[in-house]
Structure 1
Amino acid sequence: MTLTTEQKVGLFFLAALVVLAVMIELVEDWRPFETQVNYHTFFRSAVGIKVGDPVRLAGVEVGRIRSIRLEGPRVRVDFYVVSGTDIRQDSLASIRQMNLLGGQFLGLEFGSPASPQLAGDAEIPSVEGANIDQLITHLDQNQERVFGTLGHLIEESRTSFVNAVARLESIAEKIDSGAGSLGRLVNDPTLYDELTLAVSNVKQVVERLEKGEGSLGRLLNDPTLYDQVSQVAANLQEVSSRLRAGEGSLGKLLVEDRFYNDASDAFASIRDISGKISRGEGTLGKLVNEEDVYRDTREAIARIASIAAKIDEGSGTLGHLVNDDDLYRDAKTTLHKVEKAADGLSDSGTVSALGTVIGTLF
């Protein structure tokens, strides 16, 4: 069968695409104009990385993984970096995650500036990191532990939990049926009506306040109050200024030292007098400190009380004088007689007057 020109061109183009794909796959890492430096490192596990994965230094791609193979109980990873990459003897290698969706790479860390450069074909120390399998394993273990503990807790408190739920259901039923204060509060429409009425009253009060009605409304809206307060503040400020200037008695008391000195002298005198009284000096000191004066005063008061009691009971001359009415009547009668005698003296002589007085009295 003879192929047409169009068929030949199509087959040639298809073959060229296949060859190009093979070349891309085989020479992906072929860089004829790039100098590469080989290194290797060891891990206990190399899960997630494969040949051809990138090698990154501080997040910047500097090479590729050449091979991964077992070497004793460890996994050897051979890789290269571009010549000029700053690899130090204390640099570290680790397997890192690109993102949460997957993909890993071999990460390198800068060494200290004081550390010397690491020669090619040398081993770079590694740091074991947590891979996705280990994270999932730990998550499963922690999940089992948490859910196991939670299950035991639920199992142990099942009875209490069931009783609590039953009580809550009972409370909800009571509230829904209107039982108790809370049930009435929830179901009785009177509360809504009262609340609406209260809001309406508050609204009316606010409106009246805004209009300036009533004492509080005037207090809020009348500028007179502000003027009076301003005047009081001004007066207080004036008084304060006068006090600072030492005007008036109170100002002098606050400013002049003489009042302070007089007060100090007065307190000193009081302390001196108090000291003398405490030491028993003077009449007041003896009266306060000597027991003989106290006893004499007490006995004198007791005697006065006894005398007053006797007088009140009518004992003795003074008692009769205070309590007996006969003495008052006799004195009144005598005065009447003296008055009659005085009247008779004006009409009689001396002898007759003396006889009249004697006769009147006796």
Structure 2
Amino acid sequence: MKITNETKVGFITIIALALLILGFNFLKGKKLWSNDTTITGKYSNVQGLQTSNPIVINGLQVGTVYKISTDKNMREIIVDMTITKDINIPKNSVAVIKSNPIGTPSIEIKLGDAKEFLKDKETILTETSGGVFDEVLKKVDPVLYEVRKAVSSVDTLLGNFNSILDPNAKNNIAATIANLNKVTEAMVSSTASLNSLLNTQTGALAKSLNNVSAITGNFAANNEKITSVISNLDKTTTKFADLNLKKTLDTLDVAINNLKGMMSKFNSNDGTLGRLINDPTLYKNLASTGNKLNLLLDDIRVNPKRYVSISVFGKKQSGSVLQTPLPDTLNSPYYVEKVKP
């Protein structure tokens, strides 16, 4: 099969483009098919840092800057760093941007002392360098460098303090001081009251302590009586504990059950006492007996000669026998119980 010139040109063009892309990425510090570690740092000022700038630890380059990105507000710049060396970076390490007046800026990682190490895609702590002047000043005159840092810190503090002291803040501070004066006055008044309370002669606390002392003195004077009362109470509880309370309760339970049985018999018609209490037959028979007795007494009163004769000549009284009681006994009719066969 014959390959045309157009195909050869296209194939060569594709290879050239691939080599161009790989070379461009290599110059930018990007490597393909590698197991490099990528960490991220966040800065407010990168001081001219570019991609492919070196990353240094203790003077040795261990990687390059892979990517620099930010948002539209430019408040925070994110720097992705590629670590090509197989090293351990503690988590409390700090990445500082070092400016170079005659070369390119770099990132220096100051190693920390943590036992845990940064992993791929994690974020490292960052710190912005003071610039070339600070580096030179630090080497030439360290004392002047520290003074400059102190002055800068004081200036920042005063600026923050001035920003706090706006009209509203001043009014709030004045109100706070006024409230503090009131609190101080209240504390003075409270201190006076506390002093009067703690007065050893007239204070309420002294009187209370005297009363407590008197009470404890009475306790001490009657210690023997209290001991005797406690001893008697102990003996009483011992005797009460020695009583056979369970046997007594069992006996009481039996007596109550017997009483219940007797009451149930009283309420029923079984037995003489039950029939006497519940059966009205006895009452009615007694009422009938009373009627008969009244009838007899009325007949004796009306016809006494029929039952008692003291005549010399022995003549009996004639007359009819009473068949019904007199009117004063009619309210008690005679009753005869019907007995079932």
Q: TM-score range by the shorter chain?
A: 0.3 to 0.5
Higher helix share: 1
Larger relative CO (CA 8 A, sep 6+): 1 or 2?
2
Q: Report the TM-score when normalising by structure 2.
A: 0.33
